[in-house]
């Protein structure tokens, strides 16, 4: 019990640090927003003045300089926004860890499998899937295949003791690799198309980041 409290306390402190980092990045992002407006406005004003007051000889250099400067500011801003998004995703993951440990259903994302298979011997009777189910509590997968695999494991009717022991040995190897597990989860959560990874996508990611 003491170890659990220490782990939960450590996660809470990590969330507090992430809150501060996100707040700091938001302030920087706000400054970049104003910088983009100022660079665009000032560059446009000076470019127009140069065109009418001096002519095209000064207009084109000023247009090029203001455009390059604006692009640099935009790229820097996007990097800040990308960092902020990753920190927010990390905070979401950490918050879900606390919610799972404390069985706080409101702190979990929506269940991804909601309808039980009533032709299964016990999946429907034991509410293995759906909201407030064992599958919902345990499902931290980032792929549709992983989600289905967890469901199959929970609903298997003839457990294989040797295979279970083999899986437990793999889990034991992953337990100390918290950074790897976090990177794996973030890799799936940051998919811009908002689609769950398919098995081949996951294998590609492991190949590139292993």
**Tokens at 1, concatenated:** 């019990």
Measured CA to CA, the distance from residue 65 to residue 58 in angstroms comes to 11
What confidence tens digit (pLDDT) does each residue in 140-187 have?
Answer: 887 778 888 899 999 998 888 999 899 899 889 888 888 888 887 787
Average of per-residue pLDDT across 39-60? 82
More confident residue, 207 or 50: 50
Residue 191: pLDDT over 70: no
CA atoms within 13 A on the CB side of 17: 8
Q: What is the pLDDT of residue 197?
A: 58
Nearest partner of 61 among 53, 70, 51, judged by Cα: 51
Residue with tokens 């104003």: 34
Strand, helix or coil at 27? Answer: helix
Confidence category of residue 194, pLDDT binned at 50, 70, 90: very low
Q: What is the pLDDT of residue 202?
A: 64
Most confident of 42-51, 80-89, 121-130, 182-191: 80-89
Biggest CA–CA distance in the chain, Å, is: 85
Contact criterion met (CB below 8 Å) for 143 and 162: no
Task: Please state the separation of Cα 28 from the chain's center in Å.
Answer: 21
% of the chain exceeding 70 in pLDDT: 90
Average of per-residue pLDDT across 43-67? 82
Give the torsion sign (CA, 180, 21, 190, 14): positive
């Amino acid at each position: 019990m003491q170890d659990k409290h220490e782990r939960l306390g450590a996660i809470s402190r990590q969330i507090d640090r992430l809150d501060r980092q996100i707040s700091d990045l938001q302030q920087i992002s706000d400054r970049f927003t104003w910088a983009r407006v100022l660079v665009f406005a000032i560059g446009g004003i000076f470019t127009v003045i140069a065109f009418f007051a001096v002519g095209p000889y000064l207009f084109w250099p000023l247009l090029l300089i203001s455009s390059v400067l604006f692009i640099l500011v935009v790229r820097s801003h996007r990097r800040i926004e990308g960092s902020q998004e990753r920190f927010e995703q990390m905070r979401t993951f950490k918050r879900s860890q606390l919610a799972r440990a404390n069985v706080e259903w409101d702190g979990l994302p929506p269940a991804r499998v909601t309808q039980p298979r009533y032709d299964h011997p016990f999946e429907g009777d034991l509410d293995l899937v759906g909201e407030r189910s064992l599958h919902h509590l345990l499902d931290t997968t980032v792929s549709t295949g992983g989600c289905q695999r967890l469901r199959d494991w929970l609903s298997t009717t003839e457990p294989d003791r040797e295979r279970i022991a083999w899986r437990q040995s793999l889990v034991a190897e992953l337990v100390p690799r918290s950074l790897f597990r976090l990177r794996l989860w973030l890799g799936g959560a940051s998919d811009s198309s908002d689609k769950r990874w398919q098995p081949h996508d996951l294998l590609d990611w492991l190949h590139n980041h292993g």
